[in-house]
Structure formats: C-alpha cells, structure tokens
Amino acid sequence: MVSWLIFQGAIALLLLIQIPATAVLLSRLLKGPSRHPPLEPTLATPELVGSVSVVVPTLNEADRISPCLAGLSRQSYEVREVIVVDSNSQDGTPDLVKAAQKHDPRFRLMTDDPLPSGWVGRPWALHNGFLHSSEDSEWFLGMDADTQPHPGLVASLVKTAQNEGYDLLSLSPQFILKSPGECWLQPALLMTLLYRFDSAGVDAAVAARVMANGQCFLCRRAVLAQVGGYSSAKSSFCDDVTLARNISSQGFRVGFLDGAKVFKVRMYEGAMQTWQEWGRSLDLKDASSSAALWWDLWLLFAVQALPLPIILSYLLFLPSTPTPFLLSLLGLNGFLLIVRCALLFAIAPSYDRSQAQGGWLFWFSPIADPLAVFRIFLSAFRTPTQWRGRQYDRPS
C-alpha cells in the first residue's frame, strides 16, 4: 500500500512538473506560423555601395576558411572591406587570407595578440576588427570562419535590416552534416534552443529572451560604437547572445531570422566535437541570470528529456492496467513525443545532409534528447577553461 501511494505520488509530481512546462512550450511553438519568412539572396543596389565592413575572427582555421573567403569574395559592392583578425594561427590560415587578398583587394589581415586578461578570444578579435574597420561603413558584419556565404547574403541582410527597422540582425544557418553521429546528436542539441526560445523569425518581447547567432551578426556601426564595441561581452563564451541582449536592453531593435537559404556552416567534425565544443556554450549562462538559467533547465528536463524515458519505462516495466493518473502522464508524454517528431519536419530545411553518411539518423534524433539535455546541464554548472585552442584561467 505504501509503495502504491509513493508510485502515485511520483506520477502526480511528474504531472506537476510537466503540465506547466508543456503550456510554456506550446505558447512558443504557436508563434511559428506567423514568423518572418527565411531570407532570400538579394542583388545589391547602388545605395548600398561600401556600406558594410565584414570582420572574420580566426585561430587555426586553415581546414575550414576557404569556402568562407570564397563566399565573401562573391559578395557585391555593398562590402567595403573584409578584415580577417587572426590570433597567431600556426596552420597556414594567414597564407590563405593573403592568397585571397591577391584576387580581392577588399581583404585585409591583422593580428590581435596579446589577449588581455578578462577577455575571451572571439570577442577580443571582433572588437579589434571593429576598432580597425572603416568609420564610413554604416554596418558591421561579424562572420565566423566556418561559414559558407551564398552570393547575395550581405545585400539581403542589410536590406532586411533597413526595411524592418533592425539595429542588429543575426541569422540562423543551414548546418552541414557529414558523419552519422552528427546527424543523430546535432538536431537534438539544436532542439534545446528551439524549446527554450522563440523560433528564428519571431522577435523576442523582452531583452532577456533575445537570441542571436554570431556566425552572421550584422549591427549598425553607430550602435556598436555606442555600447563600446564588444567590451560588454568580453568575458562571455556566448558573446553573440550577451551583446545582442545588452543592445536590446538599451532600446535598440534586435532580430534573429532564418538564414538557411543564404549561408551554410560546417561547425564541427563529428559527434564528439559537437558534444564538446557546441555543447559548451548552448546553456547561454554567460548571457542569462541564474533564475533564467534554472527556468530553462526545468523546461528542458520536463518537455525534452523526460517524455521518451517515461514512455519506455511504461512499455518495459509497468502493468497493463494503468490508473487514470498514469494514463494522463502517458497521454501527455505521448503528445510531447508527437510534437518533437513533428518539429523534425520544421527544422529539416536547416540541414544539408547531401554529403552525410547515415543521414537517415536525423529522423531518429529524438532518441538523443535525454543526452542533449544532460549536456546542457553539464555545461550549466561548468566554466570553460579551454576554447578553440586557447586556455583560460577561470575559476570553476
């Protein structure tokens, strides 16, 4: 009798945890149909001439930067300059930039060392690029070396920002997947963002819920100057979100839109790198309050991590005559699994699996959800001491 009461109490507790979390999730997902459509490549027009300075931070990116340089070279006359800020790469990255410079004089190479105390390498490089960019450019565009810009990206980005009145606009990419492990794990990690925040194309109502992506990050130069460049995000391992939220909190309009049709990105090689590197920053703790972080962890645990284990536990261990409480729990978690699987179709255009081995594993990524949420929990309670080949002396 006592064990039965404990069992019923556990079911009630799970329902108490999951029902409000499901309501929060649905309130976000229901905004999806009204979101801004994905950006399309756009031809430049004369009024855009020389309006954009592009800055690309690099550290040992020789294996990945060539498609980025080629893609930026194919942008039109709206790009005034492309400044590659290198942090003393030892793999030949500067040589590739110098080779690109011979064919396109808009490219410039500079170094940013030494790294000051209190700064993370990426925001320091971007800050240096901003300080050395032309004051005649209206827009600053930060792009990562692993991006693959399509022709018409920059013109589309600037015209959208102008037409929609954005002061800062960043884009979500189309991810290139190649290995079986990536195809299975990466979509589950991406889903942790979709569950916690409004989808790309839906503007956040408050600054603390703003999302951003530093892989393609456009900001009015005057706005960036007003907030001191990247200095307000200097110690953040998610500097893009930190800076975007700081800018939004000062009353500027910040947008995060779908850019899957205008640029691709090859972030990491294999599932292990994806787990180690991307999983490190997905918690966004550097850009969030403790209360917001705990709120997000509760939500992920309730609606992404629990459904599959609960359903499997019933199928494997529990009796065939469930109580009404248990039926409610099973119905709720079955519904959450259906929502999760339906979201696979929604995010499918955000993936290029044309080169992937085992690309079909993408459709089985819901099985990786408990693992992905576990990774967010791990990251939330650890401070990185190594990032992109740099060591940081930071307290844990």
User: In this predicted model, what pLDDT tens digit does every residue of 134-165 receive, in sequence order?
Assistant: 999 999 999 999 999 999 999 999 999 999 99
d(CA 3, CA 388): 51
The closest alpha carbon to 86, from 129, 142, 140, belongs to 129
Task: Beginning with the edge strand found earlier in the chain, give each strand of the sheet holding 168-172 in spatial order.
Answer: 107-111, 79-86, 52-58, 139-143, 216-220, 168-172, 254-258
Give the confidence band of 386 by pLDDT, cuts at 50, 70, 90.
low
CATH number of 16-384: 3.90.550.10
Contacts of 195 (CB under 8 A, 6+ apart): 25, 28, 299, 300, 303, 304
Single-letter amino acid code for the residue at 98 = K
Query: Per-residue DSSP letters for 277-320?
Result: IIHHHTT-GGGS-HHHHHHHHHHHIIIIISHHHHHHHHHHHS-S
CB atoms within 10 A of CB 165: 8
231: pLDDT strictly greater than 60? yes
DSSP-assigned letter for residue 167 = S
Q: Are 221 and 378 in contact (CB under 8 A)?
A: no
What mean pLDDT is reported for the chain? Answer: 93
Task: Tell me which of 200-214, 226-240, 317-331, 365-379 is least confident.
Answer: 317-331
CA 16 to chain centroid, in Å, comes to 30
396: pLDDT strictly greater than 90? no
Give the confidence band of 319 by pLDDT, cuts at 50, 70, 90.
low
395: pLDDT strictly greater than 50? no
d(CA 378, CA 167): 34
Q: pTM higher than 0.85 for the full model?
A: yes
The closest alpha carbon to 142, from 168, 175, 164, belongs to 168
Triad 73, 78, 83: Cα angle to 5°: 55
Q: Which two tokens stand for residue 211?
A: 């999302």
3-state secondary structure of 262: coil
Residues 368, 373, 375, 379: what is their CA dihedral angle, to the nearest 10 degrees?
160
Radius of gyration of the chain from its Cα atoms, rounded to whole angstroms: 22
Task: Tell me which of 174-183, 315-324, 387-396 is least confident.
Answer: 387-396
302: pLDDT strictly greater than 90? yes
User: In this predicted model, what pLDDT tens digit does every residue of 320-358 receive, in sequence order?
Assistant: 677 888 899 999 999 999 999 999 999 999 999 999 999
In order of 2, 61, 231, 267, the CA distances from 146 in angstroms are: 58, 8, 24, 6
d(CA 184, CA 280): 18
DSSP-assigned letter for residue 38 = P
Residue 278 has a pLDDT of: 86
